[in-house]
């Protein structure tokens, strides 16, 4: 139950963190505007006060330092993709205001290109094939190359090839444009000297397809069939368990990776309706399933055990690391930390949950959590109440002085941060004696939280 609660809290915190957390339109409003021009993106902070310092994390492992002159800045991305940009803002005068927000920026650094090809078999020589390409490119093409079973067979927009023997062959065409864009398509043909089949049937259908990638989302793919006519019907299989009968579908993949696409084209000709089939592999950009993970370690300062230094451990480089620390007994007041090795002071005894969320440049997200408990209460001794006897076997006792009568709520947590006992007692003005039955608890160390009015006190019990 606790893991589900923390997962919910993590989702809640980071869904809120993605939007502006400060609504103040004066100081420390972290909102910002974005203007995308190809690979160059400009950022404009809403808060332009001279007393405010800005820091930008551009989502591709680069960032700026805190500087009051960075209310407006720009950044050039080296590759296309989606990037989570974080804007951190701080009041440089009082230092009491610190806030941040994030936006996802979609960059198309390289203009797109695409290439497809058609196949025609010679009507006399069934081992002779003509291949012709159709392509689009924002820049002039530098080369079009043809491959048969991964062996270079020719260059240029067309190819004629005589296959010496029957068999199954994989034909690929690849385009390289002057602006660095690359594209390709592959088809399989079955060569038979007497009755060749090129993804076709007795109706003469030659099935193929091409794809186009959404410039704003690399996992959003548009599919175009060939032949393309209202007199045909289509069945697509996108290779991830999703299929459709739309003629011109588009599909958004949850994960990046290689997917086997299947297309069946049906030609409707009364009782003589017939089909052709084709398949091919497409490469979808983005993080594959379960390929990024995050974890962290921590160490205590030998001279002050409440000073904790965290260190993130990731499987692939991350662009965004956000930490949340909150006391188990107070989930409504989290503390946000940033960076790979942040340091945090546990201000009081008790157990804390530490949540780490990471986002990679390809959009893969991962999270990790740990519970940390502390016995010491530096600077907060007045909030600590000694229990007796300690260690205890069956009962622990507390003495509590109240300035006025109040309901006292007591919660006991084990060393893993799980609540094991709670009780509510009526508190009177003056001295109050409270007995805690612990005979049914396993041996170990327990942390006690005592709440009354607006006050919170702590205690610790060792059960024998």
Average pLDDT over residues 437-444: 88
Per the DSSP assignment, residues forming a β-bridge with 221 are 213, 251
Q: What is the per-residue pLDDT for 335?
A: 77
- Do 362 and 60 contact (CB within 8 A), yes or no? no
In sequence order, the 6+-apart residues with CB closer than 8 A to the CB of 174 are 115, 143, 144, 145, 147, 182, 183, 184
Name the band, by pLDDT with cuts 50, 70 and 90, for residue 3: very low
Q: What does the mean pLDDT of the chain come to?
A: 77
Average pLDDT over residues 108-120: 72
Is the pLDDT confidence value at 273 over 70? no
Residue with tokens 């049914």: 440
Q: What is the per-residue pLDDT for 221?
A: 92
Q: Is 385-463 in CATH node 1.20.120.1200?
A: no
CA distance 7 to 229: 49
Domain locations along the chain: 17-107, 113-284, 294-374, 385-463
Of 368, 449, 455, 451, residue with least CA distance to 414 = 449
SS3 state of residue 104: strand
Of 211, 209, 219, 266, residue with least CA distance to 240 = 219
Of 22, 36, 10, residue with least CA distance to 87 = 22
The architecture in CATH of the region 17-107 reads Sandwich (2.60)
Of 207, 202, 243, 199, residue with least CA distance to 228 = 207
Q: 37 exposed, middle or buried (CB, 10 Å; 0-12, 13-18, 19+)? A: exposed
In sequence order, the 6+-apart residues with CB closer than 8 A to the CB of 183 are 113, 114, 115, 135, 137, 174, 175
Superfamily in which the 113-284 domain is placed by CATH: Immunoglobulins (2.60.40.10)
Q: Which residue has the higher pLDDT, 109 or 337?
A: 337
Average pLDDT over residues 220-233: 88
The domain 294-374 is placed in CATH, from the list 1.20.1250.20, 3.30.420.40, 2.60.40.10, 1.10.3720.10, at 2.60.40.10
Q: What is the pLDDT of residues 372-426, one digit of tens each?
A: 887 665 444 557 788 888 888 899 999 988 888 888 888 887 766 667 888 888 8
Common-topology check for domains 17-107 and 294-374? yes
pTM as predicted: 0.31
Is the pLDDT confidence value at 167 over 50? yes
Of 21-30, 50-59, 390-399, 419-428, the range with the lowest mean pLDDT is: 21-30
Is the pLDDT confidence value at 5 over 80? no
Both tokens of residue 188?
């399989």
3-state helix, strand, coil in the chain (%, to 5): 5, 60, 40
């Amino acid at each position: 139950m606790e893991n589900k609660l923390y997962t919910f809290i993590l989702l809640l915190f980071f869904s809120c963190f993605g939007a502006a957390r400060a609504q103040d339109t004066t100081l420390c409003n972290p909102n910002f505007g974005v203007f995308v021009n190809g690979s160059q993106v400009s950022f404009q902070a809403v808060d332009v006060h001279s007393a405010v310092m800005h820091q930008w994390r551009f989502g591709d492992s680069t960032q700026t330092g805190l500087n009051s002159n960075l209310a407006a800045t720009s950044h050039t991305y080296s590759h296309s993709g989606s990037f989570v940009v974080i804007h951190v803002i701080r009041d440089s005068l009082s230092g009491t205001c610190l806030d941040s927000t994030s936006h996802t920026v979609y960059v198309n650094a390289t203009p797109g290109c695409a290439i497809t090809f058609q196949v025609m078999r010679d009507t006399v020589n069934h081992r002779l094939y003509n291949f012709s390409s159709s392509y689009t490119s924002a820049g002039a093409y530098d080369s079009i190359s043809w491959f048969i079973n991964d062996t270079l067979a020719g260059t240029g927009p067309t190819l004629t090839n005589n296959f010496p023997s029957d068999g199954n062959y994989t034909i690929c065409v690849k385009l390289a444009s002057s602006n660095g864009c690359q594209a390709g398509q592959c088809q399989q043909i079955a060569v038979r000297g007497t009755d060749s089949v090129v993804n076709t049937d007795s109706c003469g259908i030659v099935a193929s397809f091409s794809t186009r990638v959404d410039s704003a989302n690399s996992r959003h793919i548009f599919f175009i069939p060939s032949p393309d006519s209202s007199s045909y019907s289509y069945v697509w299989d996108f290779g991830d368990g999703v299929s459709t009968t739309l003629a011109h579908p588009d599909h958004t993949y949850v994960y990046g990776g290689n997917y086997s696409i299947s297309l069946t084209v049906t030609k409707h000709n009364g009782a003589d309706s017939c089909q052709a089939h084709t398949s091919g592999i497409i490469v979808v950009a983005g993080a594959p399933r379960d390929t990024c993970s995050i974890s962290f370690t921590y160490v205590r300062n030998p001279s002050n055990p409440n000073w904790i230094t965290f260190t993130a451990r990731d499987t692939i480089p991350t662009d965004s690391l956000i930490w949340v620390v909150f006391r188990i007994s107070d989930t409504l007041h989290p503390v946000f930390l940033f960076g790979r090795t942040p340091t945090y002071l546990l201000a009081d005894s008790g157990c804390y949950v530490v949540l780490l969320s990471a986002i990679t440049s390809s959009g893969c997200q991962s999270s990790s959590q740990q519970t940390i408990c502390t016995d010491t209460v530096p600077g907060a001794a007045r909030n600590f109440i000694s229990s007796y006897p300690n260690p205890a076997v069956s009962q622990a006792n507390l003495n509590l002085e109240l300035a006025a009568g109040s309901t006292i709520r007591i919660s006991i947590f084990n060393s893993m941060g799980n609540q094991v006992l709670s009780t509510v007692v009526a508190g009177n003005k003056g001295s109050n004696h409270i007995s805690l039955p612990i005979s049914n608890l396993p041996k170990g160390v327990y942390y006690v939280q005592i709440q009354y009015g607006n006050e919170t006190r702590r205690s610790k019990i060792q059960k024998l």
